[in-house]
Structure 1
Amino acid sequence: MAELKRLSESRDLTRIERIGAHSHIRGLGLDNSLEARAASEGMVGQLPARRAAGLILELIRQGKIAGRAVLLAGQPGTGKTALAMGIAKSLGAETPFASVAASELFSLELSKTEALTQAFRRAIGVRIKEEAEIIEGEVVEISIDRPLSAAAGSSAGPSGATAPGKTGRLTLKTTDMETVYELGGKMIEALGKEKVQSGDVIALDKASGKVTKLGRSIGRSRDYDAVGPHTKFVKCPEGELQKRKEVVHCVIT
């Protein structure tokens, strides 16, 4: 029994949840000439180091640093992790970033080799290209029907009656056409997760049901007096709503 208890209490490195002290970082805070701004994209100070990190960033983008590593050295609290995260954020939102501290490795009930192996696996991303049927358009309206609760006293099975799932309608348009689509519970949940609203330009993968928010329609740019700094405005798609496109899926292990 003691052995079973010990196994049930063992922890996995991938299950540790850490509070991100650098969650505010959005990039390296560089201008077009790779010069570091005093305060930008969540980065403050360390101008020479950020400028050097910008050169590393360009080498990565050009594919000239494949198979190599970069060593950042310095005293604790000088921004080494922040620089590494800034590079990852500048490479794109789908670039994996894994951080592990030595104290974690020595406090886990598994071998150090296995702990490092799990950390390396979390830092690997795979891009898969494939052709898929995509529905792409500007959201005109999202209408969600309120599910009716089961009537009291109605006939039901031993487990009782359950309320039906949510249903709704999604109106999408391009510059040439407009169509209304019926929505099921899973699609409503996916739209809510992405916080899709009227005026957004979205892409729906017919096979997987994945919803991707491409940006805000330029035609709706005057709807608000102020928008967030990360709001991206895109043109309303042209032609047919449904089209076959080559899509890239990023899978993080």
Structure 2
Amino acid sequence: HATMATTKVPEVRDITRIERIGAHSHIRGLGLDDALEPRQVSQGMVGQLASRRAAGVILEMIKDGHIAGRAVLIAGQPGTGKTAIAMGIAQSLGPDTPFTALAGSEIFSLEMSKTEALSQAFRKAIGVRIKEETEIIEGEVVEIQIDRPATGTGAKVGKLTLKTTEMETIYDLGNKMIDSLSKEKVQAGHGKDHQAGPLFHQNTVCAVSRGRTAEEKRGGPHSPYTGLPGSLLRRHRRDQV
């Protein structure tokens, strides 16, 4: 007699919001000039001049990073423009700064606890900017040597010889690199541009080197010619993902 154990996977509900035309969808900013002086009617804001100026000071502090990790409490009677000022601050910060609007009725639910609702809102309001340092290897392909096991089950190994105007280097190839070179049909005489980073590996066949003769050219009669790269085979580049 065999019994089957069943594993119950907990269901995680997500807060879904629907963007619609609302009472504050017309607000584009706080309506301030360069001196942080509020205009009477500007960017969808009307009135509350002193509060808008104070919000402008807070906005500049946010941009300079002086109140990171702190909270701003806007208090007042109903209908005095608290949500409008908060929306104006969010619009002035721009699309790179995440802003999450949360109504009080979204916290109290029978399907989700208050802690989970607040945790999801905080996670949505956290912005992460990822920068990646990429190593670029470029040069003319002199020779590609790929050794495949006779049984067909082992790992493939290979060597790639690249050269520039002043140097020549041999690189060991792994399985992924060999498959990528085979897919792009890289052969001797092709210009090679390999970008390696922690997030991706990209290979590009740039062109056919001018140093190859017409019989040795593999790219066909319409392939563009290019000169050999400079003395450095490797160079580094920083990208923002």
TM-score (norm: length of structure 2): 0.49
Q: Which has the higher helix share?
A: 1
- The structure that has the greater radius of gyration is 2
TM-score (norm: length of structure 1): 0.46
Higher relative contact order (CA 8 A, sep 6+): 1
